[in-house]
Amino acid sequence: EDKVVQSPLSLVVHEGDTVTLNCSYEVTNFRSLLWYKQEKKAPTFLFMLTSSGIEKKSGRLSSILDKKELFSILNITATQTGDSAIYLCAHTGAGGTSYGKLTFGQGTILTVHP
């Protein structure tokens, strides 16, 4: 069964700290791994990763995928209070019973104190 596990489940840091969020997955037919940020309402898209070893960056956020070890990390440098949110990892299946299926992990709750 397709599975996504995130760690830690919650994290409390101070502004300026760097954080690393982890996502490991099991999927029958892997297509891509996605990261989302959720504040008050619906999740918003951060990254999609399909190739191993290639880092995606957007400002202070970056993410990388390891398809051999089946995990991804999301790094946030110089954290700000506005980074406080739930960070969700998800993978999509490419074929067989996973075709089109998009499964999320349980999320990491990040709290950044001033």
Partner 1 sequence: NAGVTQTPKFRVLKTGQSMTLLCAQDMNHEYMYWYRQDPGMGLRLIHYSVGEGTTAKGEVPDGYNVSRLKKQNFLLGLESAAPSQTSVYFCASSSGIGGTGELFFGEGSRLTVL
Q: Whole-angstrom Cα distance, residue 9 to residue 55?
A: 23
At position 113, the amino acid (one-letter code) is: H
Q: Which is nearer to partner 1, 50 or 75 (CB)?
A: 50
CB atoms within 10 A of CB 53: 10
Residue whose CB is less far from partner 1, 15 or 39? 39
Question: Based on CB atoms, which residue is closest to partner 1, 31 or 67?
Answer: 31
* C-alpha atoms less than 13 angstroms from C-alpha of 32 in its C-beta half-sphere: 9
Q: 2 vs 17, which CB is nearer to partner 1?
A: 2
**Min dist. Cβ of residue 94 to partner 1 (A):** 7
Min dist. Cβ of residue 19 to partner 1 (A): 18
The C-alpha atoms of residue 73 and residue 7 are separated, in whole angstroms, by 10
- From the CB of 5, what's the least distance to partner 1, in Å? 10
Q: Which residue has 């709750």 as its token pair? A: 109
Q: Which residues bind partner 1 (CB under 8 A)?
A: 6, 9, 31-32, 34, 36, 41-43, 45, 48, 50, 86, 88, 90, 92, 94, 99-107
Distance CA 104, CA 14 (A): 27
